[in-house]
Chain A
Amino acid sequence: MSVHQVFRLRTVPVVAALGTAALAAACGGGSAGGSASPQASETGQVTISFVENGPPNFYAPLLSAFNAAHPNIKVVPSSIPFDSEADIVQAKLSQKDSTIDAFIVDQPRTASWAARGYLLDLSSLTAEAKQNLFPAAVQASSYQGKLWDTPLWESSNQMFYNTTLLQKAGVKPPTDQPSDRWTWEQTVAAAKAVQAKTGAKCGLLLEQTDRYYQLQPLAESAGGGPGLTGDGNLTPALNNPGWTKALGFYQELFAQGVTPRSVSADQSDAYFTAGNCAFFVGLPTVAGTLIKNKIPFGIAPEPYFAGEKPVTPNAANAIGVSPFSKHQAAATEFARWASMTVEGNLASVETIKIPPANMKASDPFFAGLAKQSTALTNLGSLVNYELSHTAVARPETIGYVQFETIMQQAFSDIRNGTAVNQALQNATSKLNAAFSSLKG
């Protein structure tokens, strides 16, 4: 005990922070990791802060709708750049910052943040969640059987194709029916044909270059599994034919010039919506820009490996509540309303047009999209089909952030020509080193 006291140099700040946490705990629910339900409702005007990751005014429809529906709660946004939001929120919560009430959580990080005590246990909302949200979405917000954040959006990948380019090349486009799903092999062949006949710089473009989100479905479709296994998913499992096949395929896309080598994840939308590519696999949000840029397009299900099963990605953003917040009831109500009410959930997708996590918001959402283009008529049923039949969750593990980062480095090396098994071996040893402090 005395050894620890010697090393507690921080005086005032720590005392203040501990004092806040103790007070919150005394009020019945401040500590994390199996905490009790949120505090009893507060009366009077409450202002809560909502840390989100932009772009600017992104969540404005959600906030104004919520503020209108809740006269005694005011939500004030605090915008942090997309790439830094998770890091900054984590940094502040590690200091038990009490000025953060609600914040955006990238769903795959749920396990990691819950284990560290950065999320308030929202089990009181579980029943309502199961009633209103897609099962895949609820699963992505769960860790050790409890609900830790409220899903806002679902994500899915569809294949988009440039109608003009395909017509010019005389290539018959795929349909948007899951029963007619193309294989990756078919897609590449068609892409090459379009490139040969039209001189297009790009045959097939995967939206999130080098990202696990984009490549997990390929590996899973090839039978390789998510790449992690064992107790708590803390053991790398990359040394199998499925991963080798999937990443070999990825490497060949670039080596054979089907995919341009240096279009990064944040430039890929711009690249496809300028009309450069025959095929594109990514989030349905790209449709908005395609319509704006007047590029004729069609949709199709995400391809799969011949003879294997189709797999699509899922999960996106959720709202978490800080266990150090002084307004947990209000923040929890915000999280609940934005996710589990149709009005709230629709407001949260108004700017970005990404599929809502709320099952009952799904139909109005897709109906609205279909009005913008006939190509999107069946988008809703396609997404719902994928979410129910082919969507696979990212592995539930407290080491998810390290895993995602290390996998991204491996994918990048593979894209640039490193031998697949060497890159996977390298990744395995890095993962073991990164997880060593997390096990036991």
Chain B
Amino acid sequence: MNKLLSRTPGKVILTLVGIIVAWAFFWPVVWMTGSAFRPEKEIFEYFQPISIHTLIPSNYTLDNFRAAIEVGFGRAWFNSIVVSLASAALGLAITVPAAFALSVLRFRGRGLAFAILFVTFSVPFELVAIPLASSFRDWGLTNTYTGLILPGLANGFAILLLRQFFAGVPEQLKEAARVDGAGWFRIMLQIYVPLAKPALASAGLMLFIGQWQAYLWPLLVADKPEMQVGSVALANLQAGAVGGTQFGAIFAGAILLSIVPTVIMLSMQRVFVLSIASTGVKG
């Protein structure tokens, strides 16, 4: 199929389909961006009948962006990036060996460890976290990056994802290395990890997004304005019935927040579509 359609007409059709599908996901973002540039009172106009102005503002203003920055959104944006990136990096450092152990090594109790892993992600963390937040306070971890990052490292899904990948790597690779006398750490680092780039990217993505979307835990452990993360800073702009929600500022902040992970995703796409075949190792 691929060879057939790599001729240009097929490619053009596929691209068109790709654009239409992408538009189905993108139009709300266009609306949000438009609303971020709109004066507050025009945000709810132009829904019906649908017109070009539904998406494109007729009047522009930077007030919403100004409002978002005024309330310290810039700092929150920075905090989100630091916490999420650190969680991804540190998380990978500890989940890769754990996944390796669960898939490649053979030891008594492996089944039990696997079962416990499943239990850890079957319980919603933020709902059992209230006493833990209190403990973090006693350990002096409130309003610190450490306090925000630590729970993000306990990501059972990342371990499972990597484990699934490692379990699929042909056994002969490991056998050959063992015959050559290689230690397990070298095997993991020099054979499995290089093969696992897409899986590493995926696990890193899960760790990153898990922290990027976190809301309740940051509320419990970070109450100083300078330690707030993006999702909390945006929620601060929702005032309920008192004082009025600043919709424009919320959309402005959300769009700004979305830029960094999307850019990261854009630049890392090559890693996602790498295959074992292209890394030059045959099964």
Contacts and interface: CB of A to CB of B under 8 A. Distances in A.
A16 B138 contact: yes
A289 interface: yes
B236 A207 contact: no
Contacts of A211: 241
A352 B244 CA distance: 9
A49 B42 CA distance: 38
Interface string A46-76: 0001010011111000000000000000000
Interface stretch (A81-89, A167-175, A234-242, A325-333): A81-89
Interface string A96-118: 11010000000000000000000
Contacts of B247: 270
Contact of A13 (B45, B71, B138, B237): B138
B28 interface: no
Interface string B36-65: 000011111100000000000000000000
A231 interface: no
A354 B224 contact: no
B243 A55 contact: yes
A12 B138 contact: yes
A13 B239 contact: no
Contact of B219 (A80, A82, A94): A80
Nearest to B39: A293
A208 B240 CA distance: 9
Number of chain A interface residues as a range: 35 or more
Given A79-B225, A97-B137, A270-B44, A54 B239 contact: yes
Given A55-B246, A88-B219, A270-B44, A83 B238 contact: yes
A54 B241 contact: no
Contact of B220 (A58, A92, A271): A92
Given A16-B138, A274-B44, A95 B244 contact: no
Interface string A190-220: 0000000000000000011001000000000
Interface stretch (B79-87, B126-134, B205-213): B126-134
Contacts of A83: 235, 238, 240
B134 A82 contact: no
A269 interface: yes
A271 B44 contact: yes
Contacts of B130: 91, 94-95
Contact of B71 (A57, A207, A282): A57
A269 B244 contact: yes
Nearest to B130: A91
B243 A95 contact: no
Interface in B66-95: 70-72
Interface string A331-352: 0000000000000000000011
A285 interface: yes
Contacts of A266: 238-241, 245
A285 B45 contact: no
A17 interface: yes
B44 A267 contact: yes
Contacts of A57: 71
Contacts of B133: 91-92, 95
A265 interface: yes
B239 A82 contact: yes
A55 B239 contact: yes
Nearest to A77: B225
B243 A58 contact: yes
Interface string B166-209: 00000000000000000000000000000000000000000000
B242 interface: yes
A125 B183 CA distance: 73
Contact of A82 (B42, B135, B225, B238): B238
Interface string B241-264: 111111100000000000000000
Interface of A: 10, 12-13, 16-17, 49, 51, 54-58, 77-84, 88, 91-92, 94-97, 99, 207-208, 211, 265-271, 273-274, 282-283, 285, 289, 293, 316, 351-352, 354
Given A78-B223, A88-B220, A92-B220, 16 more contacts: A12-B138, A77-B225, A81-B219, A82-B235, A82-B242, A94-B130, A95-B131, A95-B133, A95-B134, A97-B134, A99-B137, A208-B241, A266-B238, A266-B241, A266-B245, A267-B44
Nearest 10 CB-CB pairs, A to B? A81-B235, A95-B134, A56-B71, A78-B223, A82-B240, A13-B135, A55-B239, A13-B138, A266-B245, A54-B236
18 contacts: A12-B138, A17-B134, A49-B223, A51-B223, A55-B71, A56-B71, A56-B236, A78-B225, A79-B225, A80-B219, A80-B223, A81-B219, A84-B219, A99-B142, A266-B239, A269-B244, A270-B245, A351-B243
